[in-house]
């Protein structure tokens, strides 16, 4: 049995809680100490995006386990602890990464630098984040989505805005880009500098088949695509002041959502003029010609319709080869695009940077 805390008894018999255990604790030199009280545990290991493999905690005479790492680069990291072989979150850290499946549960560590990061709150004005429920007629179910409205949205009731449909990855949900990707703060920061135009961001739940149910190859993307096109886009264009044409509509996603964005967007250029995939799950190269048959059937027309096609992946990402193969496929068929290679693995540390890089490219005149 593992104990995460001790209850002390005073002389009067009244229970007294011990001092709060601080974990993680980040010092000025960006070293980080993790602590966990578990007197009965035999082994505790730390694993996270800040290091390869795992590192053991050390136990003191009171059953308090401690490990220190670093210094770390300023960033937002995800980590877990393993207690006698059971992977779990840090019980002393309330900042938790959640999603649509238990496998995504992790604790969050933020290491701040001397200057604010591009994803930190830096401006006095902030856009509004709204959560909506809707009935998907195409899927026959109640669903959720998240919407970001730029700060100026409510100031001019006549103004209309482009829309970015931004998709999450596997095991995540419609809150991921807001909570973990900090899309609202990134766009808030880009706006005053003039680097990016104001636009609405719609973040739907990216599963057409519930994540706990099996799906045939391509079934999830096909069903989600129906929901996006038949339900989500009409809902957004009826509820918000959008510029409802393909020139002002973008579709971008990461991992599973990157594969969905590329598959749906590049097969529906009548709806989307900007398409992007971050660490996209594009599937086997042997299927590209079939999946993107409409795109390559007339490369000249596709190039005329596409104002932006952006594909990015980190070199340490397990999907890097697939992304590179997809870029080579596009080049072979003379489809203009940007292939962005970077350092990094399959992580939000990469995807936040990619959003910061692609946002200024969206909806620019003259493209």
Is the residue at 120 inside a domain? no
337 lies in the same domain as 273: yes
What are 179-190's pLDDT values in tens digits? Answer: 999 999 999 999
Is the distance from CB of 308 to CB of 272 less than 8 angstroms?
no
Residue pLDDT, tens place only, 84-112:
999 999 999 999 999 999 989 999 999 99
Q: CA-CA distance, 35 to 91, in Å (whole number)?
A: 9
Q: Which residue, of 47, 78, 111, is where some domain finishes? A: 111
Q: What percent helix, strand, coil does the chain show, rounded to 5?
A: 25, 30, 45
Domain with residue 56: its CATH number is: 2.60.40.10
- Domain closes at, from 62, 86, 111: 111
Q: How far apart, in Å, are the Cα atoms of 327 and each of 18, 52, 100, 103, 168? A: 57, 29, 30, 30, 21
Strand 141-149, strand 200-204: pairing: antiparallel
Q: Tell me if 17 is assigned to some domain.
A: yes
CATH number of the domain bearing residue 276: 3.40.50.1820
Is 278 part of any domain?
yes
Q: Say yes or no: 178 and 301 in one domain.
A: yes
Q: Is residue 193 part of a domain?
A: yes
Answer yes or no: pTM beyond 0.85.
Answer: yes
Average pLDDT over residues 261-265: 98
The torsion angles phi and psi of 177, rounded to 5 degrees, stand at: -70, -25
- Asked if residue 344 and residue 315 are part of one domain, the reply reads yes
User: Distance between CA 22 and CA 92 in Å, rounded?
Assistant: 7
Would you say 200 and 242 are in contact if contact means Cβ atoms under 8 Å apart? yes
Domain count, the chain: 2
Residue 287 lies in a domain: yes
One domain for residues 146 and 184: yes
Q: Is residue 367 part of a domain?
A: no
83 and 189: one domain?
A: no
Residue 76 and residue 162 in one domain: no
- Same-domain pairing of 185 and 290: yes
Does residue 190 share a domain with residue 107? no
pLDDT at 11 over 80: no
The predicted pLDDT at position 18 comes to 59
351-358 mean pLDDT:
98
Q: Are residues 249 and 330 in the same domain?
A: yes
| pLDDT grade for 139, boundaries at 50, 70 and 90 | very high
Note the pLDDT of residue 2: 43
| Residue 3 in domain | no
Residue 63 within a domain: yes
Consecutive H or E run containing 119: none
Given a cut of 80, whether residue 235 has pLDDT beyond it is yes
* Residue 103 and residue 134 in one domain: no
pLDDT tier for residue 170 given thresholds of 50, 70 and 90: very high
Using the 3D structure, point to which of 80, 111, 142 is the last residue of a domain: 111
Residues 78 and 137 grouped into a single domain: no
Checking if the pLDDT of 287 tops 90, the result is yes
Task: Say how far apart CA 206 and CA 167 lie, in whole Å.
Answer: 6
Q: Which domain holds residue 99?
A: 8-111
Supply φ then ψ for residue 226, to 5 degrees: -65, -45
Report d(CA 227, CA 235) in Å as an integer. Answer: 11
For residues 171 and 234, state if they share a domain: yes
% of the chain beyond a pLDDT of 90: 89
Predicted local confidence at residue 3, as pLDDT: 43
């Amino acid at each position: 049995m593992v104990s995460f805390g001790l209850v002390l008894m005073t002389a009067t018999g009244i229970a007294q809680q011990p001092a709060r255990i601080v974990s993680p604790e980040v010092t000025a030199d960006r070293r980080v100490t993790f602590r966990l009280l578990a007197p009965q545990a035999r082994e505790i290991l730390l694993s996270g995006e800040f290091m390869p493999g795992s590192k053991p905690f050390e136990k003191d005479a009171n059953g308090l386990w401690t490990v220190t790492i670093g210094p770390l680069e300023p960033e937002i990291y995800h980590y877990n602890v393993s207690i006698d072989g059971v992977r779990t979150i840090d019980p002393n850290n309330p900042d938790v990464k959640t999603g649509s499946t238990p496998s995504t549960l992790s604790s969050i560590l933020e290491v701040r630098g001397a200057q604010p990061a591009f994803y930190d709150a830096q401006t006095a004005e902030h856009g509004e984040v709204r959560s909506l429920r809707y009935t998907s007629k195409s899927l026959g179910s109640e669903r959720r989505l998240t919407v970001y409205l730029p700060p100026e949205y409510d100031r001019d009731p006549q103004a209309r805005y482009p829309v970015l449909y931004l998709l999450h990855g596997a095991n995540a949900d419609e809150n991921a880009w807001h909570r973990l990707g900090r899309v609202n703060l990134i766009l808030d920061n880009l706006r005053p500098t003039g680097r990016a135009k104001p636009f609405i961001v719609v973040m739907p739940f990216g599963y057409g088949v519930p994540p706990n149910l099996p799906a045939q190859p391509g079934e999830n993307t096909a069903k989600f695509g129906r929901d996006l096109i038949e339900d989500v886009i009409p809902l957004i264009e009826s509820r918000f002041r959008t510029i409802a044409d393909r020139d002002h509509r973008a579709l971008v996603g990461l991992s599973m959502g990157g594969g969905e964005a590329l598959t749906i967007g590049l097969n529906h250029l009548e709806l989307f003029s900007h398409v992007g995939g971050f660490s996209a799950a594009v599937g086997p190269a042997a299927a590209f010609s079939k999946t993107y048959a409409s795109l390559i059937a007339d490369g000249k027309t596709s190039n005329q319709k596409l104002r932006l096609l952006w594909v990015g992946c980190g070199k340490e990402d397990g999907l890097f080869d697939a992304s590179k193969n997809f870029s080579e496929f596009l080049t072979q068929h003379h489809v203009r695009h940007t292939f962005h290679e970077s350092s990094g693995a399959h992580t939000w540390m990469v995807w936040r940077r990619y959003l910061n890089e692609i946002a200024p490219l969206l909806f620019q005149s003259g493209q």
